[in-house]
Amino acid sequence: MQVIADIAPLRDQILQWRRDGQRIAFVPTMGHLHDGHLTLVRRARENADIVVVSIFVNPMQFDKADDLAAYPRTLDEDVAKLNSEGVEVVFTPSPEMMYPNGMEQHSFVDVPGLSSILEGSSRPGHFKGVATVVSKLFNMVQPDVACFGEKDYQQLAVINKMVNDLCMPVEIVPVPTVREMDGLAMSSRNTRLTVDERQRAPVLAKTLRWMSSQMRGGRTDYSELILDGNDQLRAAGLEPDDIFIRDAHTLLPIVEQSSKAVILASCMLGQVRLIDNLSVDLAPPISDDSEE
């Protein structure tokens, strides 16, 4: 396995694989890897001959300097895990290499619509940072396929739209959320939870499951359902941030034609922001037409 920090040697290696007719899969990460990331790596291996993983804590997608500073950085451990998975290259660029003239003077990619709703409305510029860095990484790695987790549901939607709008020759493979035994969605931020907080954290996933069961049972008073979900979170000591119920395909409000919904939730637990989502198949509307 190679660990490469600069663009030129990365491109040289990519060119060699291309000449050999190798198919390349890519997994972009911010490091502090867990089994969720490694599941992406394994899915990438199923789709290609070569797997490239990047580790880069992208400052452009953080709206708070404290969050950027607190993000866990465990490069040596991450490299060891990826070596065990047989990854061919770990790409570890620096902020100075990615943004040589600083972020304020850097060109950016902005995905309209999807970037400014839901989480984007409360974190202005976040998805611009995500789209920009992923676009840059795609240009550097030039993968045939890239794997993204469904845990970051809106991020996945933004990446899909960017790839389609800009005609990028990259197949995006969504990978289902990987969970702990108690249902908590795996996240690098989970390691910052205290022992007590870790015991309460699965309530977020439990609340989403309860809300989805209500919807499958025919409940459509979504505003009240969201309030009920918030009450369940608060009762367990979690502070709700946002809960949305949206069309799973458009991320717009549910309409009569919607066939699938997604519940998107975020909350604070101590100093840690947890996010999760759950998709729900909606029953088709009952027709009023009757046979004569």
Of 180, 271, 261, whose CA–CA distance to 226 is shortest?
A: 261
Count of all residues that appear for the chain in the document? 292
Residue 149 in marked binding region: yes
What the block records as the tokens of 22 is 């190798």
Residue 237 in marked binding region: no
Does the active-site annotation cover 37?
Answer: yes
Residue 211 in marked binding region: no
Residue 116 in marked binding region: no
Question: What are the φ/ψ torsions at residue 275 (nearest 5 degrees)?
Answer: -130, 155
Residue 151 in marked binding region: yes
Residue 179 in marked binding region: no
Residue 212 in marked binding region: no
Q: Identity (one letter) of the amino acid at 277?
A: N
Q: What is the DSSP letter of 186?
A: P
Residue 242 in marked binding region: no
Residue 215 in marked binding region: no
Question: What are the φ/ψ torsions at residue 286 (nearest 5 degrees)?
Answer: -80, 125
Q: How many CB atoms lie within 10 A of CB 217?
A: 8
Is residue 39 within 8 A of residue 175, CB to CB? The reply is yes
Residue 291 in marked binding region: no
Query: What sign does the CA torsion over 116, 117, 121, 123 have?
Result: negative
| Options 37, 106, 126, 249, the catalytic residue | 37
Binding residues for ATP: 30-37, 149-152, 178, 186-189
Active site residues: 37
Residue set of the binding site for beta-alanine: 61
Residues belonging to the binding site for (R)-pantoate are: 61, 155
Pick out the residues of the known binding site: 30-37, 61, 149-152, 155, 178, 186-189
